[in-house]
Structures are given as structure tokens and as C-alpha cells.
Chains A and B, each alone.
Chain A
Amino acid sequence: MLNKLLKYDLKSNFKFMLIFYALALFFAILTKICFAHATNLAIQIFAYIFNGTTIAMIANILINNLMRLWVYFKTNLYADEGYLMHTLPVPRKNLFTSKFLTGLIILITSTIVIVATTAIAWLTPESFEALKNFLAPMAEILDSTATEIIILMIIVVFLEVFVMLISGYIGIILGYKKLSNRTGWSILFGLICYVVIQLIILFGVFILAGINPKIGNSLFSSEQLIPDISVLRPIYTLSIVLYLIIIALSFVLSQKWFKKIDLD
């Protein structure tokens, strides 16, 4: 039954998101074409308009994703539609798992679309070379490549956004255990959850700084004003590991809290 729920949830969400994906890619192509053929002022003006629109579309995908997924979670499981979903002959934990996987799949797709949009609109051999040169010193210190650094950054940002999504889900689950002002409580619990997760990550970095003096000096010493870039790799690695543990833990706890519900 989980695959049926997932199919239904994905269809419901992708139906809207596909429009935004298509628009982002469309404006990225227009930006590319206009900048490539900006031989006169009129085309240049169009190029800047499309450029701005593409940036807006990328922001829109990010914000729209989170907002839409939270609203969908709330309306599908706690509003009128919840009467249908919670009376389906499926284990309640599957309802949550489906929403969790839907969020994950949509965020992965959105990340791919954002990267593709960015590449189409602004990536040229010259800009790629400039980016590589910009990241080269960092790559050398980290004993890595520019591409690896970019991928690492994308992974951390993706996990950060996914944690935001999960915090929202947990907020809704806990908020709807209250008897009144459930939306208000949901927002409050979601914020608390997000702050707690960030504090756990920071605490992890503190511990790492205690173990590794190089990180400690780089982050907390008043004598070293320019941070040592080489400490980024262990910090990134630790953040990714902590994010994954927190996401797994949040999933288990959410399923537990989701077992008992009281619909309006």
C-alpha cells in the first residue's frame, strides 16, 4: 500500500511543481539565448529581464517547495482530507512515510532542476573556468577539486533544506496534539525543532573543535581572524553525518508521535 500512497502523494505535488520547473528551465534558456546574442540594447534589456526572472524562479522553487509540502502535509492529514486518509486500510506509519519520501523526492528533483537551471542560464566555458580558478586555492588546501567542493556544498544545503522540511512536519504533528490554536502551536513547535537541530549541529562542531585544535583555533581564537580553510572539510563531513543521523532520528520519532491523532 505504501507504493500506492507514494504514487498518489507524488502526483498531487508534482502536478504543480512541474509547472515551476518548466518555467525555470524556460527562462534559463531565454537568458542563455539573449546573453549569447546581445548585439543591441533591446536584446540586452530582455536578457537582464530574463536573468532576473530566472533568479526569481529558482527562489520560487525553493520557497514554493517547502510551503507547498507543509500545507499539503497539514491539509492531507489534519484537515478535512484527513478523514479520508486516516480511514484508508493502511498502517498509519505508512501515511507519514509516504509524505517523508515525497518530500525527499521532490527536494532532490528541485535540486537537480535548480542546478540545471543555473547551468543553462549562466554556465559558459569562461564562467566555469572563472569558478574553477576562484575555488582552486580552496581545493588545493583541502586536497580536493573545485567540482568536489561544489558537490559538497550542494549536499549540505540540500540536507539543511530537508531538515527545515522535517522540522515543519514535526511541528505540525506536535501542534495538532494540542486542543486549540493548532496552527500557532505547529509553527512554534516547528521553529523550536529547527533551532534545536541547529544547536545540535553547533554542539557537534564545538566537540570537534575540542578534539581538533586546528578547528578550535580557526573558529574560536581571537588571534586568528582569517579562518583556516582546511578545517572546512571535517566540518562539512561532520555536518553531513549529523544531519543524516538527525533526519533518521526525526523520522523514527515522527512516526511514533504520529501513531495517535485527534482530528478536529
Chain B
Amino acid sequence: MVLLECKNLSKNYGKKQALKDINFTIPAGKIIGLLGRNGSGKTTLIKLINNLLTPTTGQILIDNKAPGPVTKAIISYLPERTYLDRRTTIKKTLDFFQDFYKDFNKKTAQKLLKDLDLDEDQKISAMSKGMQEKLQLILVMSRKAKLYILDEPLGGVDPATRDYILDTILKNFNPNASLIISTHLISDIERILDEVIFIDKGQIVLQSDADALRAKYKTSIDAIFRKEMKC
């Protein structure tokens, strides 16, 4: 079953073309690595899927529907920036998520917060950027969504935190759902990937099953990426 489909998708910023004629499908129940160098178009593609950008041409279908309130209800999205209301507390943020997302499990979130020794009455503005990112991850992974989209969840965090993030993702990931992870830190996530999509200069240069790719090149995805994307 196809969960996400992009047809002839392009995005221009003025004269600059950020994405060129993107075509791909994503099936249900897979973990997909969206891999590319900085500025390759990963975030633009993710923002288009989440309806945060308007495509110049082409079409996106999520569960056979165009992006809108219905598709947003089934996508759990972690952006590459901190997006929470800094004036409020963790507790109120949990209530906010429970108010708006039917699939949000508050108990799961509270349990994960407890593991991190985070006090629910703490103000978000009093938390470090790293802790805010962990809180966002907890919120996103506490939903039973059909599609999880994590944009650079490992960017700028120490190796110990990377392990925590990956563990949190894997422990809380709905097995019937699909998960797209965008990153350039391939070696850290390679072990969990089912499929990979290489994106470069706004174009998809490769989409393949992760194991098939490793078998074909007899090396790791990281090594293949380094070879294919060499400057």
C-alpha cells in the first residue's frame, strides 16, 4: 500500500530551483532514509509534504489525499528547529497536543518525560535547546501516526543523545506506519533503515532497498553515499 506519492514535484524560490521533477512513492511499514548533503533539497521536500510550502508544479498525495487537515492528522512531523511555544510549560504543551491530535498518547509522553527527569511544570523557555529538541521528539513519537517525518533529528547533538533519540524512535514507532528520516549523518541511522532515497541538487538520484544496495555495492550505505555524493 502506497502511503506517500510525489508526482513531478518541483519547487522554485524565485529563479532558483530547489526541487526538480521529484517522483517517488513510499509504502507503509518502512523506515526510509532521506539522505543528502546540506542544501540538497531534503528540508524543502519535507516542508512540501507537510504543507508548509506551496509546490510550484506537481502533486503530493498522502494516503491518496492532497495535503490538508486530513493528511496532517496522520503525519507526525519533527522539524529541524524548535517550534514549541516558549512562553508555556511542558504540561500545557502536552495538553495542547492532546487537544489537537486524536492519536496523541499523553501517558506515553509522560513516561518518556519521566525517563528524562523532566518536570512537567518546567517552562520551555527555561530548557536548553537540546532538551527542547528531546521534548519535541517525545511529543512526535507519542503519536500513533501513519507517517512519521523526522527532519535532521540527529543534527547538532552529541553521540550519547543520538543513541537516546534512535532508541526513542524505535521503541515508540508504530510498526504499521512509515518513517522518513532526513539526515546527512548516515552512519548513525544506517542500521535502522529499510529503504534509502539519495537526493542531490534538488533531484532524486537513487531510491533503493537498503539491504539490496549494500549487497550490490558490498559496502555500507554511508560509504556508498560518500562515493556517490562526492564533491
Contacts and interface: CB of A to CB of B under 8 A. Distances in A.
Interface string B81-118: 11111010000000010011100000000000000000
Main SS class of interface, B: loop
The interface size bin for chain A is 20 to 34
A182 to B, nearest CB: 13
B87 A84 contact: no
A115 interface: no
Nearest to A84: B83
A8 interface: yes
B170 interface: no
A12 B54 CA distance: 29
A83 B100 CA distance: 14
A263 interface: yes
B30 interface: no
Interface in A86-117: 86-91
A91 B69 contact: yes
Contacts of B84: 81, 84
B51 interface: yes
A83 B81 CA distance: 9
A8 B100 CA distance: 11
Interface in B69-83: 69-70, 72-73, 75, 77, 79, 81-83
A113 B29 CA distance: 56
Contacts of A88: 72, 100
Interface string B209-230: 0000000000000000000000
Interface in A2-19: 4, 8, 12, 15
Contacts of A89: 69-70, 72-73, 100-101
B194 to A, nearest CB: 24
A80 B83 contact: yes
Nearest to B74: A89
Contact of A81 (B50, B83, B101): B83
B81 A90 contact: no
B47 interface: yes
A1 interface: yes
A38 interface: no
A230 to B, nearest CB: 51
Given A8-B96, A89-B69, A89-B72, A83 B101 contact: no
B52 A263 contact: yes
Interface string A197-231: 00000000000000000000000000000000000
B23 to A, nearest CB: 22
A261 B51 CA distance: 8
B75 A87 contact: yes
B156 interface: no
17 contacts: A12-B85, A80-B82, A81-B83, A81-B85, A82-B52, A83-B52, A84-B83, A84-B84, A86-B51, A87-B50, A89-B70, A179-B13, A260-B54, A261-B52, A261-B53, A261-B54, A262-B52
Given A4-B99, A89-B72, 6 more contacts: A81-B85, A83-B83, A87-B52, A91-B68, A91-B69, A179-B13
